[in-house]
């Protein structure tokens, strides 16, 4: 079994296969740029980790489908940043900002296709299943992004709405990553299903953690200004739960705060944060993360692999939700 | 062998498989819209025609990869219309105009993925080759679009530049369409290569025809205002050849005309058209179309199929370059 550090090194070495110098430069430079500005490589990592449950044999063909997940993820980020008008990501200018919108649209497009180029390296015996899994997931991610955008103009969404949305926007891709490694490794149908569920629940925990850190994280570590989600009235787990809990005066206070603009950013962030603490939302979020983490661990146990082998995956899951950025 | 009309009917019936009513509606409505506003279905048609060289057996699996070509093509149109800021297509509002930019980005994205969903129906024995052909082509189409955009800001491009650009932007997808039907039909490697070349040369002829019709076509039939390319200083075959031929006073005249804005549209279109006629560019374009059409016919002959079988493809090629829109 590989350790997490060894998996990281395998991925670092494979980063070179994703950065392709090709013509025209204006099309491919943004790809290299995106792949170079960091990113935790969570999705390919998860794919390699589940494959490792079956075997230590990481011949090249596995790396390509694993990196397909990363390339696809980066494509969604490039396009999301256009749609959200985001200027920075990971502390650096977004492709949209650094170049322009047309470049961001087209280089994103070519990345979504490049993902399939890498995916096609999957062993022929499982290629149809791998394709089906990936394509279904990719469409779900688009659906999740659409719901996320639709929710922006809805004053109120339920927690079920939120969970469905992040399920599509975030969790299915981690689920796909986990299942893909298992599929390629030759795991049973039941084990694949369990690992999909593991990835999915972990994905929910991961997103709620992301929401939590945006408001309560450490700015220096997080790499971006705290409170961005509050400023943008983003329907995070925190806001959805707060809207659910707030009543009477606090509800009115919250509605007023949501009206505040960029010019009263500081005041808005501090006040909404305060409300989250006051209403027990902060604590509830921390609890929710643990609930989904536990569901993930249960799914992992149900996959049928020896705990000695699943230990590294458990460590990965732990680090994902106890990270500071 | 099916006739062209029979192929058209097969495609009309299959249009229903591409219009999918799914959630969220905001994501999928634009797909239905795009698929409904016409389009000649050239690419899937070509795929079915070459498959028909091998067999009359058009079981469902073939229709899906054929429609993948159309779905992919429509995706490129949605995104191109954003990048070009185009308000109309086929006489109707573009997705970008009818909805908004974010909708156009995301629904385009989901279409590019849907194409792969349909592609995956290809017989498993040829799936790797079909995927490789499609993915390579798809990346080339993006490259062609990038060159097309880059050329907008270059005052002068050579005919070779132009031919390379349309080769990538337009011809490779027709080439891919032709080859895909052959691959799925089980044609030999040599026949597949010849049919790829047939599609490619036909694609060049098709694009030059498109350029020609935009300036010299019949407005009522064409479905859009004549002269749009001239107004936008688009590097068409006509403009590139004109830039090449113009010298002295005519060169100065042309350069002045290219500076004219939307407010002097009528004057610009008439004057540039006049220059095209004067410099023999109009006639040369008509000749060029025939040259590439002949290359396509030679490639078709080289494919090794009985002329009695390739007759329908020859008819298709003929109609493509002698169309009025």
Average pLDDT over residues A206-234: 86
Structure tokens at A27: 């099309």
What angle, 0 to 180 degrees and rounded to 10, lies between the N-to-C axes of helices B172-185 and B127-152? 170
Q: Which of A39-48, A55-64, A298-307, B80-89 has the lowest mean pLDDT?
A: A55-64
CA–CA gap between residue A305 and residue A178 (Å, rounded): 14
Query: Which of B113, B114, B143 lies closest to A24 in CB terms?
Result: B143
pLDDT digits (tens, 9 = 90+) for A12-30: 887 666 556 588 998 999 9
Average pLDDT over residues A288-292: 97
How far B252 CA lies from chain A's nearest CA (Å)? 31
CA–CA gap between residue A35 and residue A18 (Å, rounded): 8
Structure tokens at B249: 């006073």
- Tell me the pTM: 0.94
CA–CA gap between residue B325 and residue B317 (Å, rounded): 14
What DSSP letter does each residue of B262-296 carry, written as one string?
GGGHHHHHHHHHHHHHHTTHHHHHHHHHHHHHHHH
B83 contacts A110? CB cut-off 8 A: no
Domain ranges of chain B: 4-321
A106 contacts B146? CB cut-off 8 A: yes
How far B304 CA lies from chain A's nearest CA (Å)? 31
Average pLDDT over residues A158-173: 97
pLDDT digits (tens, 9 = 90+) for A181-199: 999 999 999 999 999 999 9
- Please tell me the predicted confidence (pLDDT) of residue A155: 85
Please, are residues B192 and B304 in contact by the beta-carbon 8 Å criterion? no
Q: What's the pLDDT band for A222 if we cut at 50, 70, 90?
A: low
CATH 3.30.300.160 at A4-321, yes or no: no
B79 contacts A109? CB cut-off 8 A: yes
- Please tell me the predicted confidence (pLDDT) of residue A179: 98
Structure tokens at B112: 């590019």
Chain B residue with minimum CA distance to A129? B120
- Please tell me the predicted confidence (pLDDT) of residue A40: 87
Terminus-to-terminus CA distance in chain B, angstroms? 27
**CA angle at residue B319 from B313 to B321, to 5 degrees?**
110
Chain B residues with CB under 8 Å of a chain A CB are 22-24, 26-27, 79, 82-83, 102, 105-106, 108-110, 112-114, 116-117, 120, 124, 127-128, 131-132, 135-136, 138-139, 142-143, 145-147, 149-150
Query: Which of A102, A112, A127 lies closest to B112 in CB terms?
Result: A112
Instruction: Look over chain B and give the mean of its residue pLDDT values, rounded to a whole number.
Output: 92
- Please tell me the predicted confidence (pLDDT) of residue B270: 94
- Please tell me the predicted confidence (pLDDT) of residue A59: 73
Give the length of chain B: 325
Q: Calculate the CA A162 to chain-centre distance.
A: 15
Terminus-to-terminus CA distance in chain A, angstroms? 27
B146-B147-B148-B151 Cα dihedral, nearest 10 degrees: 130
CA atoms B231, B237, B238, B239: torsion sign: positive
pLDDT digits (tens, 9 = 90+) for A263-280: 999 999 999 999 999 999
CA–CA gap between residue B49 and residue B1 (Å, rounded): 9
**CA angle at residue A319 from A315 to A321, to 5 degrees?**
125
How far A161 CA lies from chain B's nearest CA (Å)? 12
Structure tokens at B236: 């068409």
pLDDT digits (tens, 9 = 90+) for A149-162: 999 889 889 999 99
Residues 6+ apart with CB under 8 A from B161: B147, B151, B240
A172-A98-A149-A244 Cα dihedral, nearest 10 degrees: 80
> Across-strand partners of A218?
none
Chain A residue with minimum CA distance to B132? A117
- Please tell me the predicted confidence (pLDDT) of residue B140: 96
Residue A166 parent element (H or E): helix A159-166
pLDDT: is B60 or A174 the higher one?
A174
CA–CA gap between residue A171 and residue A193 (Å, rounded): 14
pLDDT digits (tens, 9 = 90+) for B99-147: 999 999 999 999 999 999 999 999 999 999 999 999 999 999 999 999 9
**What are the Cα distances from residue B257, in Å, to B153, B277, B281?**
16, 15, 16
Query: What residues in chain B have per-residue pLDDT under 70?
Result: 15-21, 60, 221-224, 324-325
User: In chain A, what residues touch B148 (CB-CB under 8 Å)?
Assistant: none
Q: What's the pLDDT band for A39 if we cut at 50, 70, 90?
A: confident
B139 contacts A113? CB cut-off 8 A: yes
Please, are residues B90 and B223 in contact by the beta-carbon 8 Å criterion? yes
**CA angle at residue B161 from B155 to B162, to 5 degrees?**
85
Whether A99 shows a pLDDT value over 80: the answer reads yes
Chain B residue with minimum CA distance to A140? B110
- What percent of chain A has a predicted confidence (pLDDT) above 90? 79
Q: Which of B47, B44, B112 is nearest to B78 (CA)?
A: B112
Please, are residues B31 and B73 in contact by the beta-carbon 8 Å criterion? no
User: In chain B, what residues touch A83 (CB-CB under 8 Å)?
Assistant: 102, 105-106
pLDDT digits (tens, 9 = 90+) for B264-285: 999 999 999 999 999 999 999 9
CA–CA gap between residue A114 and residue A132 (Å, rounded): 17
Chain B residue with minimum CA distance to A147? B24
Please, are residues A47 and A69 in contact by the beta-carbon 8 Å criterion? yes
User: In chain B, what residues touch A26 (CB-CB under 8 Å)?
Assistant: 146, 150
- Please tell me the predicted confidence (pLDDT) of residue B58: 78
Q: Residue B285, preceding bond cis, omega within 30 degrees?
A: no
Q: Calculate the CA B263 to chain-centre distance.
A: 30
């Amino acid at each position: 079994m590989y350790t997490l550090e060894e998996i990281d090194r395998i991925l670092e070495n494979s980063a070179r296969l994703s950065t392709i110098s090709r013509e025209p430069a204006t099309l491919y430079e943004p790809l290299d740029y995106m792949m170079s500005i960091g990113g935790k490589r969570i999705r390919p990592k998860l794919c390699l980790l589940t494959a490792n449950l079956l075997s230590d044999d990481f011949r090249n063909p596995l790396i390509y489908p694993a990196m397909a997940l990363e390339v696809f993820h980066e494509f969604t980020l490039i396009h999301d940043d256009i749609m959200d008008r985001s200027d920075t990501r990971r502390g650096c200018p977004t492709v949209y900002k650094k170049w322009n919108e047309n470049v961001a649209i087209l280089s994103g497009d070519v990345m979504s296709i490049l993902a399939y180029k890498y995916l096609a390296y999957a062993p022929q015996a499982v290629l149809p299943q791998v394709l089906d899994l990936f394509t279904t997931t990719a469409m779900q991610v688009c659906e999740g992004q659409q719901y996320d955008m639709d929710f922006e103009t809805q004053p109120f969404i339920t927690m079920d709405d939120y969970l469905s949305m992040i399920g599509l926007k975030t969790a299915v891709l981690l689920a796909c990553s986990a299942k893909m490694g298992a599929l390629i490794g030759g795991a049973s149908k039941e084990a694949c299903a369990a690992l999909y569920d593991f990835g999915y629940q972990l994905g929910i925990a991961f997103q709620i953690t992301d929401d939590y850190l945006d408001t309560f994280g450490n700015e220096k570590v997080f790499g971006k200004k705290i409170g961005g989600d509050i400023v943008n009235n983003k329907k995070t787990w925190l806001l959805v739960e707060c809207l659910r809990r707030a009543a009477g005066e606090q509800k009115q206070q919250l509605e007023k705060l949501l009206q505040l603009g960029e010019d009263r950013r500081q005041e808005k962030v501090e006040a909404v944060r305060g409300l989250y603490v006051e209403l027990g939302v902060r604590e509830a979020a921390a609890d929710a993360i643990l609930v989904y983490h536990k569901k993930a661990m249960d799914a992992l146990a149900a996959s049928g692999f020896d705990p000695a082998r699943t230990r590294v995956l458990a460590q990965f899951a732990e680090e994902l939700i106890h990270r500071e950025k």
